[in-house]
Structures are given as structure tokens and as C-alpha cells.
Structure 1
């Protein structure tokens, strides 16, 4: 039997304004999956402490069920917050590449 590894996304900002909807979607995705969970945060424009709490919640719930949370990409904003809070190692993930800007 092949284990399903869903990829969860944050299409909106990870802020207090979107926290409840994202929490519900992420926990449903976690509980419906059979294997490890993949999280893509490359599209996050803003993140606040509510978003950080969601990351901790998803990580804790995955570990409690014997699975891993694999973050495949983070936006520069998420990477900066994790570094500021000294949590980069807890949520190690490749940083999303920023579009190249041509010099004028």
C-alpha cells in the first residue's frame, strides 16, 4: 500500500485574519492523510504570531501521530520571521527563490 503524502499550502497570508480557515484546512489535510505531510509556504506574503502558532500546531499534530512535517519551501517573509525567532532549525526548509530583477 502506498502512503499518501499531501501537500498543504498557504495561499493567503498567515495572519490572524486567515488563521481559522487555514487551521481547519491544514488539520483536515493532516487527518485525511496516511503518511508524512508536506507544507509549501512559498506563497506567503505576510506572517504574524498567529501564523507562527499554526506552524507549531501542525508540527505538533504531525509528530503526535508519528509522522513528519516536511516544509518544501518558504517565502522570504517566512524565512525572515523564523530566523528572527531563532526557529529556522525547527522548520528547516528551502527558501523560495525570488524573481530576478534586471538591472536598468
Structure 2
């Protein structure tokens, strides 16, 4: 029996792609407790604004972060609803896949 998922696959792929980079994961860890502007993130991570902008774009395209403009600054925060989408996607594997004991490979 083939399962079909109702989740938008492009967002799932973009989400996991965004999570595959260590710097982007560090950004998400920093945003866990509070929203931050780019200047705060560059200082905390020790990277240039141009390098960080590339990674923030990937996180925004994956909808893992959201932005808020205040004057000339852009503040970033987590978009928790997109994390829920990724959690739901992974939960489907747990729900429909039997957990089998590990088999020893034969040589």
C-alpha cells in the first residue's frame, strides 16, 4: 500500500535542505529564545553580513524564519508553524513504519 502525504513537498525539501548547513542551524539556535537583527547575528556568529544574508535567505525561503522590519533594520525570528510541518512529516514515518530490530549483515 502506497502512502500519499498532503504536506507540500517543496517546503519539506527546502526545510530539510536549510537544516543541513551547520551555520543555519547555529542561526536557528540563536533565534530560539529571541528575535535578532542581522547585526546581532553577525556579531554572535563571527561571519560577514554578506555570508549571513545568503544563509538567512535559505532559511526564509524554507519558511523556517520570519522577518519584521523596524526602521532600517530587519529582525528575524523562528516560524514555529514550519517546524511543525517538518515534525509532522517525520511523524508519518514513525506512525506507518514498523520498527524492526537491527539485522546483522552476513559476510
Fold in common (TM above 0.5): no
Q: TM-score, normalised by structure 2?
A: 0.27
TM-score (norm 1): 0.27
Q: Which has the larger radius of gyration?
A: 2
